[in-house]
Amino acid sequence: MSHIDVHKLADEAQFNRFHARVLFWCAIIIIFDGYDLAVVGIALPSIMKDLGVAPAQAGLMVSSALFGMVFGAIFLGTLADRIGRRRAIALCVILFSVFTAAAGLVRDPVLFGVARFLAGLGIGGVMPNVVAQMTEYAPKRMRATLVTLMFSGYAVGGMVAAILGKGLIETYGWQSVFLAAGLPVLLVPAILKSLPESMPFLLARGDDEALRRIVASLAPARQWSPTDRFSVPARDKADSAPIRHLFHDGRAFSTVMFWIAFFMCLFMVYALSSWLTKLMATAGYSLGSALTFVLVLNLGAMIGAVGGGWLADRYHIKYVLAAMYALAAVSITLLGLRLPADLQYLVVALAGASTIGTQIVANAYTGQFYPTAIRSTGLGWALGVGRSGAILAPIVIGVLVAMDLPLQQNFVAIAMPALIGMAAVLLIDHGRSASAVHAGHAEAATGEPQVRLSIADRN
């Protein structure tokens, strides 16, 4: 009989079909999530014209989904640590698909806001769960790359929304892009069947059979004995009150810094996602050209996410992330200048890489910072608190647009949070991260043995 640390097994595994399946489904879910999130910004000029709403009211309509995302990220992220990630992810997909489609069936701004709030619960809740899922099963040597590659699906979803928006809105009206968002609900049975459950959750439930199937998939070439006992380090044990652990073991200050960094980055992301089309149209670009900027923004985001993840696996993720915040401050400020067309598109792409791409790398860093048992909770709270920046952004920029300020001042307002976010990231104590603590244990030649939880002694 031997004790098998399932997280060490996952860390050291060779990338195989199992990992590809997890990556595929998590990426598909994030693509849907990104589409649902971007669709309002794409349709905003048409919605404002059709429903006769002013910029400030339009900002509130956009923010209604973001209010939902606050609660979704916090409560559905935490709920997943109790009911299992598969069920929580499926619930989120149902919420954002059904209620985004419902928003396309109403013509009252208040009912539109209610539908978007309920969709926001799913949009916000799915993000911490898929990041935690990919982080748990990705081999350690390529973890940041796989997480950011998966999360680049968010940018793909935004690109799909921009491409479909060009044709659908002009031909069928703005409602059509919302109704198309209901299709992902059909994939919920496949998601429940294909995604594996979290290993600490299975250990806590005593589901030895499901755990053995996952272990066999992680290391298919290895022979397993019926007497093998699977376990995780005590720090990764599923807990009935995970929220308080965000502030244990010296993590309190860094947890707050993550929250500040997320607030600032999400302010920039949602300011651009919600108002870039309108700002560019105000600057004299046609609707088609303004939507092309959204397409380029999300293309840049995808490149920034994958590139940032690649750099984070080779250099210190904390400093890679800080550099991306600095790039955001510069590129967004340049958006306010009237530049030659090619250079304008390049700056928009850099803005996407350093805002949406930065948030994706920040998600990856947060997933690595917290132990597995509180990973969904830690990322959920960071996203939830950060959503307050996302909520404020459409409203603040809407007020600025209504004031008819010069274009440059609008973009400077969007860029300023990048400097604060960079400072917060630099203040994070990386020595308190789960990856650093794990490495410290692994390097110790002597010391007390780690306390473990196994199926046999879970109670």
Is the pLDDT at 158 greater than 70? The verdict is: yes
Is the pLDDT at 457 greater than 60? The verdict is: no
Q: What is the pLDDT of residues 286-307, one digit of tens each?
A: 656 666 777 888 888 888 888 8
Q: What is the per-residue pLDDT for 285? A: 64
Is the pLDDT at 397 greater than 60? The verdict is: yes
What is the pLDDT confidence band of residue 345, given thresholds at 50, 70 and 90? confident
Is the pLDDT at 277 greater than 90? The verdict is: no
Q: What is the DSSP letter of 370?
A: S
What is the pLDDT confidence band of residue 442, given thresholds at 50, 70 and 90? very low
Strands, DSSP E only, in 224-295? 229-233
Q: What is the per-residue pLDDT for 23? A: 92
Q: How far apart are CA 187 and CA 203, in angstroms?
A: 28
Strands 452-454 and 229-233: antiparallel
Tell me what percent of the residues of the chain surpass a pLDDT of 90. Answer: 17
354 vs 370, which has greater pLDDT?
354
What is the pLDDT confidence band of residue 280, given thresholds at 50, 70 and 90? confident
Do the beta carbons of residue 95 and residue 119 sit within 8 Å?
Answer: yes
Report helix, strand or coil for 4: strand
Q: What is the per-residue pLDDT for 76? A: 79
Q: Compute the average pLDDT of residues 206-234.
A: 74
What is the pLDDT confidence band of residue 260, given thresholds at 50, 70 and 90? very high
Strands 229-233 and 3-5: parallel
| Residue (of 330, 266, 331) closest to 297 by Cα position | 331
Q: What is the per-residue pLDDT for 446? A: 37
Q: What is the pLDDT of residues 91-138, one digit of tens each?
A: 999 999 999 999 888 888 888 889 989 998 998 888 888 888 888 888
Do the beta carbons of residue 279 and residue 64 sit within 8 Å?
Answer: no
Q: What is the per-residue pLDDT for 241? A: 47
Q: What is the per-residue pLDDT for 2? A: 63
What is the pLDDT confidence band of residue 441, given thresholds at 50, 70 and 90? very low
Q: Compute the average pLDDT of residues 167-177.
A: 82
Domains for the chain: give ranges and CATH numbers: 3-209+227-443 (1.20.1250.20)
What is the pLDDT confidence band of residue 247, given thresholds at 50, 70 and 90? confident
Q: How far apart are CA 231 and CA 200, in angstroms?
A: 8
Least reliable range by pLDDT among 31-45, 197-211, 249-263, 433-447: 433-447
Do the beta carbons of residue 79 and residue 88 sit within 8 Å?
Answer: yes
Is the pLDDT at 452 greater than 60? The verdict is: no
Q: Compute the average pLDDT of residues 49-70.
A: 77
Predicted TM-score (pTM) of this structure: 0.71
What is the pLDDT confidence band of residue 258, given thresholds at 50, 70 and 90? very high
Neighbouring residues of 111: CB distance < 8 A, sequence distance ≥ 6: none
- The C-alpha angle with vertex 372 and arms to 226 and 217, in degrees rounded to 5, equals 40
Is the pLDDT at 224 greater than 80? The verdict is: no
What residue type is assigned to position 158 of the chain? G
Q: What is the per-residue pLDDT for 400? A: 80
Is the pLDDT at 152 greater than 90? The verdict is: no
Report helix, strand or coil for 194: helix
Q: What is the per-residue pLDDT for 305? A: 82
The position carrying tokens 């960071």 is 382
Q: Compute the average pLDDT of residues 358-381.
A: 81
Is the pLDDT at 217 greater than 50? The verdict is: yes
What is the pLDDT confidence band of residue 313, given thresholds at 50, 70 and 90? confident
Range list of H helices, 104-239: 109-137, 143-151, 153-172, 175-179, 188-194, 199-205, 208-218
Q: What is the per-residue pLDDT for 459? A: 33
Q: What is the per-residue pLDDT for 458? A: 37
Q: Compute the average pLDDT of residues 424-452.
A: 58
Q: How far apart are CA 280 and CA 290, in angstroms?
A: 6
Q: What is the pLDDT of the chain when averaged over all its residues?
A: 80
Q: What is the per-residue pLDDT for 228? A: 65
**Residue 248 Cα distances to 243, 251, 254, 371, 440, angstroms:** 10, 6, 11, 11, 18
